Amino acid sequence: MSTSPTELADLLPTDVRRPLWVRALCIAGALLCLVLGVIGWLIPVVTGLPFYAIGLLLLGMASRRAARWINRLDRRLPHAVRVKLREWTRRATRKS
């Protein structure tokens, strides 16, 4: 069952309204992850890419503008990569 690239929904929802304290925690977490990503870039033993991805996800959860920017970038990716990203974000943001 294959779906066309136009059938995929946006990676991050832009219509969700979160309280200020949740957005502040998301921004703090995003900054921490981006700093850890830079450290991972400087120290070759630790990889920085997962920290960058988590940081962008948190930033997209905190800001509608960032979520729209991430969605625009996502639309430029190949279809297979977009499907994998949705699987990963669904697992990462799944509510327990």
- Residue 1: band (very low, low, confident or very high) from pLDDT cuts 50, 70, 90: very low
Q: Are 37 and 52 in contact (CB under 8 A)?
A: yes
DSSP string, 7-50: GSPPSS-SS----HHHHHHHHHHHHHHHHHHHHHHHSTTS--HH
How does DSSP classify residue 78?
-
Token pair of 37 as six digits: 């990503």
- Higher-confidence residue: 76 or 1? 76
Report whether pLDDT(73) > 80. Answer: yes
Q: What pTM, to 2 d.p., does this model score?
A: 0.72
Residue 1 vs residues 4, 16, 58, 85: alpha-carbon distances, Å: 10, 30, 31, 18
Amino acid at site 4? S
Longest CA–CA separation in the chain, Å = 43
Report whether pLDDT(64) > 70. Answer: yes
pLDDT at 96: 47
